[in-house]
Amino acid sequence: MSCRTKRPERAERQAVSEPYLFDEQDLPLRRAVVASAKQGRNSYTGQRLLDDERKTARLVELLMMGCGMKKIARALHSSKESVRAALEVGGKIRPYKERFIVACEEIIELGTEQYEAALENDAVPVASIPIGVGIFFDKRALLCRESTSIAARVSAVASTITADQWRTWVRSFSPVG
């Protein structure tokens, strides 16, 4: 048995100049909702997010950790659009951001001093030194807005080499002796 819909009937009753959102039998037309949607008053402001001090602090924390919009929105039980709007407002987030940066700077300074002392006292295992130095190098480069990665691209030129050329090239890496 086929299903019959009322779409053709509704389409005939619909005025092109004033479309309705719902069928008048199901739900009444909300002219105020239609008007506000046309004027763009339903846009995201992020205000609810910024009104909650705990959520604002968490927003800044996640932002400073480098989380993306989706992850921040999930963590705050909000939408990506609300998070984006809250970040665009900016003025209300600035004090939280500054406090977080100061706290991070203090932790970094203390950690750097302790790492340096541990290096001087031979408390850092030799195998761990390159890792720590690499992390500090990367973080310094980020702060100085320098590149933190180097992209290299290798392409081979299609050519043939002889066995003698291959042996000569391999021997160039061998120690003389």
Banded model confidence at residue 74, pLDDT cuts 50, 70, 90:
very high
At residue 157, the pLDDT reads: 62
Query: Per residue in 94-141, pLDDT tens?
Result: 777 778 778 878 887 888 888 888 888 888 888 887 888 788 778 777
Asked if residue 87 and residue 67 are part of one domain, the reply reads yes
Asked if residue 103 and residue 88 are part of one domain, the reply reads no
What's the CA gap between 139 and 142, in Å, rounded?
Answer: 5
Q: Domain for residue 60, yes or no?
A: yes
Mean pLDDT of 14-43: 63
Structurally, the chain folds into a number of domains equal to 3
User: Cα dihedral sign for 20, 26, 31, 34?
Assistant: negative
DSSP string, the chain: -----SHHHHHHH--SSS--SS-TTTS---HHHHHHHHHTTT----HHHHHSHHHHHHHHHHHHTT--HHHHHHHHTS-HHHHHHHHHH-TTTHHHHHHHHHHHHHHHHHHHHHHHHHHHTT-S-GGGHHHHHHHHHHHHHHHTT--S--------------HHHHHHHHHTTSPP-
Q: Domain for residue 165, yes or no?
A: no
Tokens standing for residue 51:
């009104």
Asked if residue 118 and residue 132 are part of one domain, the reply reads yes
> Please, are residues 56 and 23 in contact by the beta-carbon 8 Å criterion?
no
pLDDT value at 72 more than 80? yes
Q: Domain for residue 161, yes or no?
A: no
pLDDT value at 176 more than 80? no
Q: Which residues fall within 8 angstroms of residue 8, CB to CB, at 6 or more apart?
A: none
| Domain range enclosing 116 | 96-141
